[in-house]
């Protein structure tokens, strides 16, 4: 969103699990992304999108007309509150149950002695899994619901609510989660071949991955 606005920025990536330090840095919560801009500390991509439109109105992240804005805000809220939870819950469930996956994450984050760190980070993985209320039943239900959710995304691309030509706040919010889903080998088949696959890849190339398989076959969504 900063690049779309042409605003120069400096990005810092936190090692996995260290998001709570943003509170120590003066932000009002414990998640990333967090943006310090113009003397303000803005937390969460939805708040960040609104702050960026205030500071640099063009190109707009939210359309000017109230009806069009309401549509974009609804897609953005759904992307944040509903769609994002699917890859996040699956991944956190995997981290709580799979030593190899924890080692993979430590390696991907460039942490030395990744195997050992993976084994030592079990308690932290269990806390994160509990925070996102993840469970095997939930991961199974998410897998069943995912195709319907992706139909919704494809519909929004078809009716222009989401667009790569003029990306709005919902485009960033929703396609980043589609990219995260594509990046999980277990969930990828649900997206492959759909209209939303290529735009998500184009907008968010180069995520650290793909994340190797960690779900047993009965917990994976159906492919197309």
Q: Considering CB under 6 A, how many residues would be counted as binding ligand GSH?
A: 10
Judged by CB under 6 A, which stretch of 24-32, 139-147, 151-159, 160-168 contacts ligand GSH? 24-32
Q: Rounded to whole angstroms, how far apart are CA atoms 81 and 100?
A: 28
User: Residue 47 corresponds to which tokens in the numbers above?
Assistant: 């708040």
Judged by CB under 6 A, which stretch of 29-37, 155-163, 179-187, 194-202 contacts ligand GSH? 29-37
Binding of ligand GSH by 32 (CB under 6 A): yes
- Taking CB under 6 A as the criterion, the residue among 27, 72, 84, 199 binding ligand GSH is 84
Nearer to ligand GSH, 127 or 158 (CB): 127
Minimum CB separation of residue 177 from ligand GSH in Å reads 8
Q: CA 6: distance to chain centroid?
A: 23
Question: Taking the alpha carbons of 19, 21, 27, 30 in that order, is the dihedral positive or negative?
Answer: positive
User: Residue 192 corresponds to which tokens in the numbers above?
Assistant: 């492959």
User: Residue 123 corresponds to which tokens in the numbers above?
Assistant: 């308690």
Nearer to ligand GSH, 31 or 202 (CB): 31
Beta bridge partners of 34: 43
- Taking CB under 6 A as the criterion, the residue among 2, 4, 5, 30 binding ligand GSH is 30
Q: 118 with 111: CB under 8 angstroms?
A: no
Instruction: Select from 159, 204, 160 the least CA-distant residue to 181.
Output: 204
Q: Go through the chain and tell me how many residues it has.
A: 224
Binding of ligand GSH by 186 (CB under 6 A): no
Binding of ligand GSH by 76 (CB under 6 A): no
- Taking CB under 6 A as the criterion, the residue among 53, 73, 80, 142 binding ligand GSH is 80
User: Residue 220 corresponds to which tokens in the numbers above?
Assistant: 């994976």
Beta bridge partners of 37: 40
Nearer to ligand GSH, 16 or 147 (CB): 16
Q: Rounded to whole angstroms, how far apart are CA atoms 166 and 59?
A: 8
- Taking CB under 6 A as the criterion, the residue among 1, 27, 35, 45 binding ligand GSH is 45
Q: Which stretches of the chain bind ligand GSH, using CB under 6 A?
A: 19, 30-33, 44-45, 80, 84, 131
């Amino acid at each position: 969103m900063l690049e779309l606005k042409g605003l120069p920025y400096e990005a810092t990536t936190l090692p996995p699990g260290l998001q709570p330090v943003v509170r120590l840095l003066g932000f009002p919560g414990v998640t990333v992304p967090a943006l310090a801009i113009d003397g303000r500390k803005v937390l969460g991509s939805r708040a960040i999108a609104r702050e960026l439109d205030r500071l640099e109105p063009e190109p707009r992240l939210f359309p000017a007309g109230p009806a069009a804005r309401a549509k974009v805000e609804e897609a953005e809220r759904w992307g944040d509150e509903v769609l994002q939870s699917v890859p996040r819950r699956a991944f956190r469930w995997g981290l709580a149950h799979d030593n190899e996956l924890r080692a993979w994450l430590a390696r991907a984050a460039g942490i030395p002695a990744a195997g050992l760190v993976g084994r030592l980070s079990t308690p932290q993985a269990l806390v994160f899994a509990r925070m996102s209320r993840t469970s095997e039943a939930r991961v199974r239900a998410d897998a069943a619901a995912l195709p319907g959710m992706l139909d919704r995304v494809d519909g929004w691309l078809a009716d222009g609510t989401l667009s790569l030509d003029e990306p709005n706040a919902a485009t960033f919010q929703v396609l980043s989660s589609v990219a995260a889903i594509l990046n999980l080998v277990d969930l990828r088949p649900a997206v492959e071949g759909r209209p939303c696959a290529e735009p998500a890849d184009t907008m968010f190339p180069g995520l650290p991955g793909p994340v190797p398989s960690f779900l047993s076959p009965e917990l994976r969504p159906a492919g197309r």
